[in-house]
């Protein structure tokens, strides 16, 4: 995109972001690049993961002198017109071409003319390939500011994408640690598993989303490895299984306390939050909540509950999608956080540790505990 002497890059918004937080940030790009490779005369195609380290783009705000109503009416964003990141200036680019000659990747009829040659050069450098070897790419705009442990007492984590990298990290670490000793699975009759999905923020209806057959296909293959002759083994395994849908939760905001139901106000440092919703926006029921809460009590871990106000819309997770699509009893949980869907989110250090300890104990003790629960879920 070229406008007013600026070189810009076309983008699409994904999910429900707090887009105003993206203004005036030092931005870069990351994702995967499809490349053409030629070795010994044989052409093949593969992909490479890339992330440009230095800031290369910015979405500048309009000066308040040119938008006097912002104080009284608030910031009004048109996603098509106002969320276009600036890559460079046309005059500087023209000067570079005069000094260096023809810029690689730029031609009157080249196959990459749909993307700006400056952008292609940056991508090619990170992918360690030539510009004309780039076939296509999937790239996302992202912040360059690193995650930090912060706060006056170093009690917070400030980071992008805590929702839902925090729960993904805690669950994977818990799975690894719960199976790492020589005898950790000696008395285990089940299969410990973590499933991570794409596209939760846009409905999960994709080949790798929770709405796809991926989960059921994985369970089918796993049970098939144990017994090829028992056609009912999968159904039995599903009935005995338990799904923890782990997605970050809304912590009480001190400046917007009226947004929370009075008796359900999850706090930072308060441990994992069990989410409840009568309209099945969360898949928790009394039995699944009890099982997860009982594990916390066994280990003296804090636990909280969340119910949305009756006069507010409720968010959702992949919990109900998987519960209804696969048939596994489910509890929806998550660590509390602030600034959800901002470019820079916030949670508590203690809650990361509580989440890891809770999920590790769940992996290790669920089978034994579940055998003692004599109710119909």
Taking only the tens place, the pLDDT of each residue in 171-212 is 999 999 999 988 889 989 999 999 999 999 988 989 999 999
pLDDT at 101: 63
What CA–CA distance (Å, rounded) separates 103 from 113?
Answer: 12
pLDDT at residue 230 is higher than 90: no
Mean pLDDT of the chain: 92
Confidence of residue 99 (pLDDT cuts 50, 70, 90): low
Mean pLDDT (whole number) for 90-117: 65
- This prediction has a pTM of 0.90
| Fold of the domain built from segment(s) 148-372 | Aminopeptidase (3.40.630)
Residues contacting 11, CB < 8 A, separation 6+: 83, 84, 85, 141
Strand 148-150 vs strand 156-159: parallel, antiparallel, or unpaired? antiparallel
DSSP-assigned letters across all residues of 68-115: TTHHHH-----HHHH---EEEEHHHHHHHHHHHSSPTT--SS-TTTTS
Closest CA to 35 of 25, 46, 43: 46
Confidence of residue 342 (pLDDT cuts 50, 70, 90): very high
pLDDT at residue 112 is higher than 70: no
Residues contacting 263, CB < 8 A, separation 6+: none
% of residues, the chain, pLDDT over 70: 95
Strand 42-51 vs strand 27-39: parallel, antiparallel, or unpaired? antiparallel
pLDDT at 100: 66
What are the residues facing 347 on neighbouring strands? 157, 337
pLDDT at 274: 98
**Where in the chain is CATH 3.40.630.10?**
148-372
Confidence of residue 109 (pLDDT cuts 50, 70, 90): very low
Q: Quick one: 2-143 is in which CATH superfamily?
A: Aminopeptidase i, Domain 2 (2.30.250.10)
pLDDT at 40: 87
Q: At what angle do helices 286-298 and 349-370 cross, to 10 degrees?
A: 110
For 103, the token pair is 């810029």
pLDDT at 181: 87
**Where in the chain is CATH 2.30.250.10?**
2-143
pLDDT at residue 131 is higher than 90: yes
Mean pLDDT (whole number) for 331-349: 97
pLDDT tens-digit profile of 292-332?
A: 999 999 999 999 999 999 999 998 999 999 999 999 999 99
Mean pLDDT (whole number) for 43-59: 96
pLDDT at 93: 75
């Amino acid at each position: 995109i070229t406008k007013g002497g600026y070189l810009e890059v076309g983008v699409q918004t994904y999910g429900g972001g707090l887009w105003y937080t993206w203004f005036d940030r030092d931005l870069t790009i990351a994702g995967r690049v499809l490349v053409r490779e030629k070795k010994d005369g044989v052409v093949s195609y593969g992909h490479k993961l890339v992330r440009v380290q230095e800031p290369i783009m910015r979405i500048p705000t309009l000066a308040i002198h040119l938008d006097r109503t912002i104080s009284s009416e608030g910031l009004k964003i048109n996603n098509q017109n106002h969320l276009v990141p600036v890559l460079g200036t046309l005059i500087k680019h023209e000067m570079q071409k005069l000094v260096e000659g023809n810029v690689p990747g730029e031609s009157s009829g080249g196959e990459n003319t749909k993307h700006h040659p400056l952008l292609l050069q940056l991508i090619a450098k990170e992918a360690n390939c030539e510009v004309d070897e780039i076939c296509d790419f999937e790239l996302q705009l992202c912040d360059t500011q690193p995650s930090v442990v912060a706060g006056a007492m170093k009690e917070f984590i400030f980071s992008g994408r805590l929702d839902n990298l925090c729960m993904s990290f805690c669950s994977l670490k818990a799975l690894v640690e719960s199976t790492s000793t020589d005898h950790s699975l000696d008395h285990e009759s089940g299969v410990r598993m973590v499933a991570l999905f794409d596209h939760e923020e846009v409905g999960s209806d994709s080949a790798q989303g929770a709405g796809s057959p991926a989960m059921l296909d994985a369970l089918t293959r796993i049970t098939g490895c144990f017994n090829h002759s028992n056609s009912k083994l999968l159904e039995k395994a599903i009935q005995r299984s338990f799904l923890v849908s782990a997605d970050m939760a809304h912590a009480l905001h001190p400046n917007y306390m009226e947004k929370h139901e009075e008796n359900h106000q999850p706090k930072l440092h308060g441990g994992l939050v069990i989410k409840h919703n009568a309209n099945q926006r969360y898949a928790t029921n009394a039995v699944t909540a009890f099982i997860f809460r009982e594990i916390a009590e066994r280990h003296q871990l804090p636990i909280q509950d969340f119910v949305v106000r009756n006069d507010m819309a409720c968010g959702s997770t992949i919990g109900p999608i998987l519960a209804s699509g696969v048939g596994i009893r489910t509890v929806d949980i998550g660590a509390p956080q602030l600034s959800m869907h901002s470019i820079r989110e916030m949670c508590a250090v203690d809650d990361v540790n509580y989440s890891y300890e809770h999920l590790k104990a769940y992996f290790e003790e669920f089978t034994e505990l579940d055998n003692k629960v004599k109710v119909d879920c």
